[in-house]
Amino acid sequence: MVAKLTHLSPPLSGREPTPPLKRGGWEGLRVGVIGGGYAGMAAAVTLAEQGIPVTVFESAKQLGGRARGLQYNNTQLDNGQHILLGCYRNTLKLIEQVGGNIEQDFLRLPLQLTLHNRFELKAPQLPAPFHLLVALLTAQGLSFSQRLQAAKFMLAMRKIHFQLPLDMSALALLKINMQHIDLIELLWNPICISALNTPVEKASAQVLLNVLRDSLNGSFSDSEMLLPRLDFSALFPDRAAEYLKSCGGTVRTACGVEAIVPNNDGIELITAEGAQQFSHIICATSSANAARLFQPISELSLTTQQIDALTYQPIYTVYLQYPPHVKLPHPMLGFDRCFSQWLFDKGQIANQHGLIAVVISAEGLHQELDHVQLSQKVVAELCEQLGITELPLWQQVIAEKRATFSCEVNLNRPAHATSIDTILLAGDYTAGDYPATLEGAVMSGLRAANAITTSPSLVAN
């Protein structure tokens, strides 16, 4: 990981965006950012705060990419229900930098994993690592020896600093460390699927350990779960766009880049509205779109091949609007052995009473059902598990078939640097410690921006 984790500044209320740094010495620098998702906007803010002229091109009408808000039936939804962790320091810091307020923007919950009627793990407010050890040793739904196995596993991983000599599947690592099948089913697989969107049999043990290192093994606040009270476009990308404009930057929505043309003066970006010349570009689209844009450029064939080799995992979000009095026992609740994996009560989180978001991550049998069958199945599970006998007023299934790359063993993810030093790559799929997450996307944007500002040719100037 190149980007350094920085510590969150203390939350301020009614926060104004942090004023730009306005460093000078960037003559001739003009950066085009392709893609207005979390990676692209993180890169753009980082460059603009230093006084570098930046233009963001976003093909959609709105910013946010896979983490964007949308309207359905006069209700504000997201492209998929998302959750952040307290250890997502870069994302949280940037949200504050562009004017957000973490305490107001999120419902902050202490680490609590509840699989309804089956399993519960709750972290008490103790200094690390005691919060985790007590949580594991007091988890309900496991035998004493299984709880001990879980605590021993975390201690063994601490001892090796969460670093494996060789990557392997998460399942292999858990088996080597004598984790009982119930423990895998109730604790480790749900964590692995939520964090890596990849089942334990396929998932990279090293990436899972990176996540465990920064979340469960971090401080109590690192392991906290942050559920947004506002939609994901409003949370960061829309604020970032305002921030950019205040720094003299430009954001062009509904303006997709059709081609990248390297030339003697830098890089030309072609859109339906014309061509624009830049000294550097950061391609922060999804992986498939990056491969499409890079494909005609022979110097970028290695990066294109690496992107083409990635495979993907889906995430389905089933939104169910019940009458306003319907609520869940917790703001976030899991089901065991059901299609529905995690349920979010948007009433408790964002005052959207009666709205339940049901998340089904990674590949599985649910993909064999059509949207009507899937929402019927989920409604039946809510009835069986929680006794919710009322029917939803409406339902909406959002299926992201390529939600994230499949985070598998020894994956060769493309680097942010390419064979053309003025073309940088950002996006959650690029090389880094994290799986496809908002924090991974933001860190990739920071890495690409830093590569430009620390480029030897600029330092020489």
Ligand X SMILES: Cc1cc2nc3c(=O)[nH]c(=O)nc-3n(C[C@H](O)[C@H](O)[C@H](O)COP(=O)(O)OP(=O)(O)OC[C@H]3O[C@@H](n4cnc5c(N)ncnc54)[C@H](O)[C@@H]3O)c2cc1C
**Binding residues for ligand X (CB under 6 A):** 34-40, 57-60, 65-67, 80, 82-83, 256-257, 284-286, 289, 315, 317, 400, 403-404, 427-428, 436-441
Is the separation of the CB atoms in 37 and 260 below 8 Å? no
User: Which is nearer to ligand X, 200 or 438 (by Cβ)?
Assistant: 438
Q: How far is the CB of 351 from ligand X (least distance, A)?
A: 20
User: Which is nearer to ligand X, 17 or 256 (by Cβ)?
Assistant: 256
Which contiguous run of DSSP H or E holds residue 166? none
User: Which is nearer to ligand X, 139 or 282 (by Cβ)?
Assistant: 282
User: Which is nearer to ligand X, 142 or 251 (by Cβ)?
Assistant: 251
Q: How far is the CB of 85 from ligand X (least distance, A)?
A: 8
Q: How far is the CB of 58 from ligand X (least distance, A)?
A: 5
Q: How far, in whole angstroms, is CA 83 from its chain's centroid?
A: 8
From its phi and psi, is residue 351 left (phi > 0), alpha (psi between -120 and 50) or beta?
Answer: left
| Sign of the dihedral defined by the CA atoms of residues 147, 108, 106, 91, in that order | negative
Q: How far, in whole angstroms, is CA 378 from its chain's centroid?
A: 24
Q: How far is the CB of 324 from ligand X (least distance, A)?
A: 25
In DSSP terms, 78 is beta-bridged to: 69
SS (H, E, C) 391-421: CCCEEEEEEEEEEEECCECCCCCCCCECCCC
Q: How far is the CB of 349 from ligand X (least distance, A)?
A: 13
User: Which is nearer to ligand X, 39 or 171 (by Cβ)?
Assistant: 39
Helix 438-453 × helix 38-48 angle, to 10°: 30
User: Which is nearer to ligand X, 59 or 321 (by Cβ)?
Assistant: 59
> Distance between terminal CA atoms of the chain?
27
User: Which is nearer to ligand X, 256 or 347 (by Cβ)?
Assistant: 256
Q: How far is the CB of 315 from ligand X (least distance, A)?
A: 4
Q: Which of 344, 340, 330 is nearest to 376 (CA)?
A: 340
Q: How far is the CB of 78 from ligand X (least distance, A)?
A: 8
**Cβ partners under 8 Å of residue 409, min gap 6:** 167, 168, 169, 202, 203, 204, 205
What tokens does 362 get?
């990674």
Q: How far is the CB of 244 from ligand X (least distance, A)?
A: 15
In DSSP terms, 271 is beta-bridged to: 257, 274
Cis peptide before 323 (omega within 30 of 0): no
User: Which is nearer to ligand X, 382 or 436 (by Cβ)?
Assistant: 436
Integer angstrom CA distances of residue 377 from 336, 340, 362? 14, 9, 17
For every residue of 175-205, DSSP letters joined together read: HHTT--HHHIIIIIHHHHHHHHSS-TTTBBH
Q: How far is the CB of 263 from ligand X (least distance, A)?
A: 19
User: Which is nearer to ligand X, 26 or 38 (by Cβ)?
Assistant: 38
Q: How far is the CB of 122 from ligand X (least distance, A)?
A: 20
Phi first, then psi: what are they for 88, rounded to 5°?
-80, 65
Integer angstrom CA distances of residue 419 from 298, 304, 381? 10, 11, 51
Q: Which of 447, 414, 409 is nearest to 301 (CA)?
A: 414
User: Which is nearer to ligand X, 32 or 347 (by Cβ)?
Assistant: 32
Q: How far is the CB of 274 from ligand X (least distance, A)?
A: 14
User: Which is nearer to ligand X, 69 or 427 (by Cβ)?
Assistant: 427
Distance from C-alpha of 202 to C-alpha of 313, rounded to nearest angstrom: 11
What tokens does 106 get?
């999120």
